[in-house]
A and B are shown apart, each in its own frame.
Chain A
Amino acid sequence: MKFLRQTLAVAAKDLRSEIRGKEAVNASVSFALVILLLFSFAFDLEPEQIRDIAGGLLWLIFAFAGTLILNRSFARELVNDCLDTLLASPVSGAQLFFGKCLANYVLIIIVECISLPVFAIFYNVRLPQRLALLFLVMLLGTWGITVIGTLFSAMTVNLRLRELMLPTLIYPMLIPALVGAIELSRVLINGGPLAENMIWFRILVAFNVIFTILALALVEIVLVG
């Protein structure tokens, strides 16, 4: 119970700070819109073809825009030695990490919820009636991105080329989650049979479970030593 309370305290702190400043979410949403624009130049496709690649485009946008938020996650604590203070506090490394995960998760979901309708409008993609399932896929996929991204944000926080290292390190690692999310989104947007694609649900869930446990186990080593 105490674990949860302190975790939620950390999460609330981050969310409050972000809601007051709105820097990361604004930057992230703007970046997502820019990518949507760039994709429109890169791909000039028929509507049916767009529906085919919609899953992939969507998750590329989510992954790129999410990285901006993840980068700031631990970087914002460097000012005024806040990170050292947090580490010295009674909050354990795992609680700090999990709280930041939750806060990042909420923020990235917000960015995704804004980007999804914009994507549908720009590319004339009719969102499926199974919107609830699509939202479930977003929730599962985003948790994978958040867990890996937050841990690597902790790892790279003290490095010189932090903004460069984080994407380079996490994107190869995220491939199972991204592939799973992309496939499921593609099937849902195209109205295909979901029953045949349950393997991707299993991969997403397995990815999330394995890496959440691994991250919680190792984050203390990353943060403190």
Chain B
Amino acid sequence: MSPQNYTFMFYGFTVAWLIVIGYVISIALREKRLREELDRVKRMVEEGQQTRK
């Protein structure tokens, strides 16, 4: 059980978790951006329908 082995094992797990967390964060950011975009476009549609009335 050399300390060097433990260090690298720690690195290994850290890298794996960082990738997972990074990916989840990127998904969450995309979700936020998409929601904002969707709201914006829905508002555009409503305004368009308003002006036509």
A and B touch in the complex (CB under 8 A): no
Could you list which residues of chain A lie within 8 angstroms of chain B, going by C-beta atoms? none
